[in-house]
Each structure stands twice: as structure tokens, then as C-alpha cells.
Chains A and B, each alone.
Chain A
Amino acid sequence: MAFKSIDDLNFRSPNHFPNPVYTFESNPVSLSKIELGRALFYDPILSLNNSISCASCHSPFNAFSHTDHSLSHGIYDSVGTRNSPALFNLAWQKNFMWDGAINHLDVQSLSPIHHPKEMASSINKVVEKLKKDRFYKKQFYKSFSDSTITGQHVLQSLSQFQLSLVSADSKYDKVKNKKEYFSKKEERGYQLFKANCNNCHLEPLFSTYDFASNGIPIDKSLQDYGRIKVTNLKKDSNLFKIPSLRNLSFSYPYMHDGRFSSLRQVLNHYSDGIKNNEQSLNHAKSMSFSSNEKTDLISFLMTLNDTSFVFNTKHQFPKVLLSK
């Protein structure tokens, strides 16, 4: 991989990516903080009864999403209302959650930690538990030169690990860096993609990270209207954050409620399911693809799978947790 401008000594932005938006000045990345954040991410100590970790819903082998359920499962097997999104390239995102309720990566972790159906704890309880843990006392001291563990430092460490989850080594990236070439099918799919999808799923991140409707109808049983919950603005009804299309082979099922389990179903929706009753720019226009075109599009989407990211051992369960 080629890297450009060093935004932070320990965070390198891939050459063909735009500048990250994360505020590195207020949380300079260090290897020891990344490792500390990694331990916290995999440690169920963050949940009330030590049963659920972040990784319970965000598994490395699923590009940090979860594939068993369409809706996430948390503490005491309670079922949430949304599909857990894949986690990567978070340094380039300005809003978090399907409706953008969270405005900064650092404060995102407060949501699952406090959510009664997720980890059912609180940041205060987490800090109290960590203060009694010799392993963490040592690690926090090493990382922050401060013997008191604070909420701020817990959250910043979790951010650091998540910032290190950069996916930029798929076949698509290699093509962009002139190391490989698309096959004819992939190239045809790429052209279809650029004509129909790129305005929302903007390359090279494959999302503008703005809010839009791709025309899927409301699930009446969930009554989830997305962005409007945050802004109270009518125009935001039924808008959801545009997800990246990297690593789709690992992160099914798809959409905020996990309603589609295959890319065929997704393309069938885009091809036949959109009714042009909305005129706004934020809404997908109806489009139509032949069966061959769908196959071409899927071939292209497959070039966005980044196996060196998904199987990167540096992102997996840290062995130190076993011996702590």
C-alpha cells in the first residue's frame, strides 16, 4: 500500500484516499493506545455482567459487523432495532450510526455501553471496574502517563483501535495504484457502478457518508424513520447514512435492518424496487439492469473485498486478554 501525508505519526492515510476528518490533534495516535483500545474492544468487562464485548456485535471476520442476525443481539439475548454496521475507515466519517445520532467517534462507545439492550452498563461503572484491574491500570499508565483511569481515556483508546481499522488493500485499490487490472466483467461493472451508484457510494471510500434514501420501503414492524429522529426535519424522514460498499462479502445481511441477505436481492431492489415518488436529490432514481448487468455489477463489488484487512491478525482478539 502507498501512503501519503502523515497526519499523525502512527496513522497513515492511503495515497488514493481523501484527507481523514478525525481530529487527531486532540487524540494523537500511539501504538500503545491502539493496543489498549484493542483489549477494551474485545473485553466483555465493558458490559454490566461481563458477557458482551464490542466484538460480540462487531466481529473481525465480518469486517467488524455481525452476520448471524439481521438485528443486533445484546445483553440477556435482547434484540436491538438495527443491523450492526461494518467498522472500517472510520477516520473518514463525520457522523456515526444509521441516523447520524453521534457526531464524533470518541463518544460513539457511550451508546453501546449505556444501551439497556446492548451492554447495559455506564461509563462510570466501566471506569470503576477498570480501576480495580491490574492489567488495565498498567496499560493506562503506560499509554497516558496518568495513573487515574478516566472516561476520556477509555473512550479515546477505543477510538484509536477503531481508527487503525483501515481497509484500502482490495483489488480495486490495487487497480487504482496500477498494481493489477480489472477483468472485462469487472470493468463493465465498474462503468455501471459509476453511472448509477457512485453519487452516493462515492469512491474510493464508497460512501459520501451523507444521508439518503435508496428507496427501500419502511418496515412497519420497526417504524424506523432514520435521520428525522435526530433532526426533527420532515425532509429527513426515511433517510439513512449511506454505507460503504467495501467488504460486502463479509458483512451481510444488508441495509439498516438487515433485510437483504444477498447482493442479488440488493440489485433486484435497485433494478425493480424503486418507485419514483420522491424527487429529491437524496433519493435513488429508478434504474434497471439486465441479468448480465447485475452479474457485472456484482463482479465489480467483489473487487472491493479486502481480505488483507479482514484477516489482519493485528485487528483480532489480543492474546494478552487471555493471560490478564
Chain B
Amino acid sequence: MRFFFIGFFFIFHQAFSQDLKSQLNFEVLFNNKVVVLGNTYFDSIQNDSIKINTLKFYISELSLEYNDDVKRLENIPIRQLINLEDPKTLKVKNIGFNVNDIERIFFTLGLDSLVNVSGALGGDLDPTNGMYWSWQSGYINFKMEGVSRNCKNRKKAFHFHLGGYKSPFISNKKVTLDFPKKDVVTVQLDLYDFFNKTDLSKDFKIMSPSKLSNKKSEILSKSFSIN
């Protein structure tokens, strides 16, 4: 049994890492500055200073669009939790690519609906990651918590738990980006627009699937760029 697993892992690894030099990383920014948990950032539109203490989100349904002779899609079956607290989660696992032929990358911010109805799952999907609602079934796709000067909540704390897999509150969002011709590619999420459009003195808490959760997820999905 053990040997079988080692063998399996080897094949798996080969299949997804044809070119081991290539790497896909995620990075979170605030107005082009790399976000460090606990640091303070200034939002000039809302005239607010913001500290982020927790930031985790899922990406799933990743695929690469190749254009060698014909256009083709390579689907990469990952459901990964990106957690700013743990730098190694910023690197996309088990992926290798041949940069020259890739035109675009697609992924979903959040999880596909199937995992939301599949019972207890493990690894990045284990409920101990704090990304599963307990009182109602479903994953939190994007979780951001912190404090801000303007926030009117207790202890000035804001909580954004964005999720929802059932109509009309489906909050996972597709992202499409043009792929640069580089070996080490970084997908960046800039939170600036989100905070520009969020008045934390009124809007400081989303804890369940809702219209607002969809809207905020939409803003975030449009805040990705690639470098």
C-alpha cells in the first residue's frame, strides 16, 4: 500500500511539473504595496487607516489556455486555500507549465459548488481551516478580518466572510488574466478598490450569503492582475 502511494505521487508530480522551474504565486497588495498582516495601510478615498489581521481565500477551477498550434485548455484540479499567515500557501501546488505557449489563465475566486455539497473533506478543505460555516452548510470563499479607525463596530473590528453556493447568492467568481511570458508568474490581488468602495463606518460585517456578499466578491474578482 505504501509503495503504491509513493508510485502514485511520483506519477502525479511528473504530470503536473513538466518544467520544474516554472512557478505560479499569489500576492496580496494594498495600493501596490505588499500586504503584511498587522501593518497599517491608508485609504485616501475613505480617509481611513486599515489593519488586516486575517486574510484567507480559496482558488479553484484553475486552467491554462495554450496556443501552440491549436488553442487548448489544460485544467489543473486544485482547490487551494491561500492564507497570508502561511507563506507557503501562496505558491500554487503541483503546477508546472511551459510558459511560451500559454496565452491566458482562468481560475475561480472561491470554490466550485460541488465541493459545497460533498460532506466533510480534508486537507485545504478541512473545516478546521476556519473556512466552513457551521450553522448553515457552505464554505466561506473569502475571509478578511481586521480593524480600522472609522469602523463603528465593537473594537473597531470588521469581518468579511464572503461565500454562498446557491442561487441567488452565488459568490464564487471567475477570473481571467493574460499570461506573461515568464517562468515565475505572480497573480496579484489588490485590496485597494475593495476598501475604496467600502465605507467601514457603515459596512463592516458580512457573515452569510447575501446580495452584498456577491457584490463584494465581484469587486474582489476584478482586483486581480498578473505580473
Contacts and interface: CB of A to CB of B under 8 A. Distances in A.
Contact of B135 (A106, A114, A155): A114
B70 interface: no
Contacts of A23: 118-119
Contact of B120 (A106, A111, A124, A232): A106
B122 A113 contact: no
A151 interface: yes
B127 interface: yes
A110 interface: yes
A153 B120 CA distance: 8
Given A23-B119, A27-B119, A107 B137 contact: yes
A105 B117 CA distance: 10
Interface residues of B, number: 20
In the complex, which of the residues B116, B121, B132, B137 has the most CB atoms of chain A within 10 Å of its own CB atom?
A: B137
B135 A104 contact: no
- Tell me the interface secondary structure of chain B in the complex: loop
B130 interface: yes
Interface of B: 116-122, 125-128, 130, 132, 134-138, 168-169
Contacts of B132: 107, 110
A155 B137 contact: no
A230 B130 contact: no
14 contacts: A27-B119, A102-B137, A103-B138, A106-B120, A107-B119, A107-B137, A113-B134, A115-B135, A127-B128, A150-B126, A151-B127, A151-B128, A155-B127, A156-B120
Interface residues of A, number: 27
A151 B119 contact: no
Contacts of B127: 107, 110, 123, 151-152, 155
Given A101-B135, A103-B117, A155-B120, 12 more contacts: A23-B118, A101-B136, A103-B138, A104-B117, A104-B118, A107-B132, A123-B128, A124-B130, A151-B120, A152-B122, A230-B136, A232-B169
A105 B135 contact: no
Interface of A: 23, 26-27, 101-107, 110-111, 113-115, 123-124, 127, 150-153, 155-156, 159, 230, 232
A106 B119 contact: yes
A115 B122 CA distance: 22
Contacts of A103: 116-117, 137-138
B176 to A, nearest CB: 30
Given A110-B127, A123-B127, A159 B134 contact: no
Contacts of A155: 119-120, 127
A123 B137 CA distance: 15
A129 to B, nearest CB: 12
B136 A159 contact: no
A103 B128 CA distance: 18
A111 B126 contact: no
Contact of A107 (B120, B128, B130, B168): B120
Contacts of B122: 150, 152-153
A136 to B, nearest CB: 15
